[in-house]
Structure 1
Amino acid sequence: MYFDYSEKTISSEKIYQGKIIQVKVDTVLLPNGKEAKRELVNHPGAIAVLALTPEDKIILVRQYRKPLEKTILEIPAGKLEKGENPLDCAIRELKEETGYIASNMTQITKFYTSPGFADEIIYLYKANSLQQGEAKPDEDEFIETVELSLDEALERIETGEVIDAKTIMAIYYWQLERNKG
């Protein structure tokens, strides 16, 4: 028998409406009949791309991330524009951030980044058959493209230079795929 764990929203108060996110506080009715507050972040969603060169190297970008107050290595990624198809976004972001164009791009998976408080979903794609072009990052993006072998990428996880979930997931996916033969 399945127990219904759902929470009914009684009221919702918008706290902040930004360019990218919305923050609200919902009052909910719990399954036991009590009320609780839920602080929620609404996000339009994003894409991330595991891009592999013909030399079997992963393409990463090095960029400063203000919430972390540090520069990190991560796979190319970006926010979905309103009504944008995730595949179109993946193609656009890969070209903007790295200059690469993929003639073959497939969705690996999609996942929620922090379901305890946010509805952000990331669509993870794999890009193959790449052709190099010219990167054209957004005017507020300052990034450097880095290419690493699988062993080098795994080492960057171990040393803490690669620390974000989407990039770690992509690198481990690449490792599993390679081990399957």
Structure 2
Amino acid sequence: MVGDEGRLRDELGAASVRSSEVVFDGAVWDVRRDTFELEGETLVREVVDHPGAVAVLALDEHDDALLIRQYRHPVAAHEWEIPAGLLDVAGEDPLLAAQRELLEEADVTADHWAVLVDYFTSPGGLDEAIRVYLARGLHPVPASERHERDGEEAHIVHRRVSLDEVAAAALAGDVHNSTLIIAALAARAAREGAWTSLRPADSPWPAHPGRRSLD
């Protein structure tokens, strides 16, 4: 919607929920069935409950992005991504979670952090919200202090690719990870604007369904 000051922004606020029940109790996330009222009509929708996630576009001094490649079974692909992780630690600050994911998945830390972009991954079926941070001033973590990865993460491949090349690959249909695509295009647009669109790393995140009472 267009706000009172002409600003294009989403209107946050839930419809009146009459009932809600968990219909699938999963290992990572659950599925609930909500019955709610919308403009006088009663609707029933299944929703995948998701804790949300954070991701990090880490750029070095040459504006090369630090990418990781890992296997994603649901899409049967080894896809290029940026470091990311679930907000599955109760009460953890999103920035701290992002810093942890960068260290664990990319073996680097960063001096400078900012919010690049926030988005909903698939609002028609799940309540996942993702915040993407931009990290600059990268430092490698000593080998003796690196996180021991397991599962799909044990086979992560690292690569540094110029921001322009990542954006071109996205537009060419050569990479498909939504967070990578959104981050790369947002960063290129932010760079064209001299990075003035970046928000402080500790900016509120009221769009995250689980944080609306906190921010």
Looking at structure 2, the residues matched to 175 and 87 of structure 1 have their Cα atoms a distance apart, in angstroms, of 22
Residue identity (%) = 37
Cα distance, 1:14 vs structure 2: 0.5
Aligned residues of 1:73 and 1:161 also touching (Cα < 8 A): no
How many residue pairs were aligned?
A: 176
Cα distance, 1:159 vs structure 2: 4.0
Cα distance, 1:137 vs structure 2: 5.3
CA displacement, residues 112-164 of structure 1 (integer Å, 9 cap, x when unaligned):
21111211111110100000124525311121111101232123213433212
Looking at structure 1, the residues matched to 15 and 190 of structure 2 have their Cα atoms a distance apart, in angstroms, of 39
Looking at structure 1, the residues matched to 14 and 78 of structure 2 have their Cα atoms a distance apart, in angstroms, of 39
Match of 2:80 in 1: 73
Match of 2:210 in 1: none
Match of 2:58 in 1: 51
TM-score with structure 1 setting the length: 0.88
Looking at structure 1, the residues matched to 101 and 14 of structure 2 have their Cα atoms a distance apart, in angstroms, of 36
Match of 1:156 in 2: 169
Secondary structure (helix, strand or coil) at the match of 2:60 reads coil
Cα distance, 1:6 vs structure 2: 5.7
Secondary structure (helix, strand or coil) at the match of 2:90 reads coil
| Partner amino acid, structure 2, of 1:156 | A
Secondary structure (helix, strand or coil) at the match of 2:75 reads coil
The structure-2 alpha-carbon separation of the partners of 1:152 and 1:69, relative to structure 1 and needing over 3 Å to count, comes to same
Of 113-122 and 131-140, more deviation after overlay is shown by: 131-140
Aligned residues of 2:116 and 2:187 also touching (Cα < 8 A): no
Tell me which of 124, 131, 154 is aligned to 2:139: 131
| Partner amino acid, structure 2, of 1:149 | S
Looking at structure 2, the residues matched to 27 and 178 of structure 1 have their Cα atoms a distance apart, in angstroms, of 44
TM-score with structure 2 setting the length: 0.75
Looking at structure 1, the residues matched to 192 and 19 of structure 2 have their Cα atoms a distance apart, in angstroms, of 50
Aligned residues of 1:97 and 1:137 also touching (Cα < 8 A): no
In structure 2, runs of 5+ residues without a counterpart are 1-12, 195-215
Secondary structure (helix, strand or coil) at the match of 1:97 reads helix
Tell me which of 19, 25, 35 is aligned to 2:33: 25
Match of 2:18 in 1: 10
Aligned residues of 1:65 and 1:71 also touching (Cα < 8 A): yes
Looking at structure 1, the residues matched to 170 and 120 of structure 2 have their Cα atoms a distance apart, in angstroms, of 21
Secondary structure (helix, strand or coil) at the match of 2:74 reads coil
Looking at structure 1, the residues matched to 99 and 110 of structure 2 have their Cα atoms a distance apart, in angstroms, of 7
Cα distance, 1:26 vs structure 2: 1.2
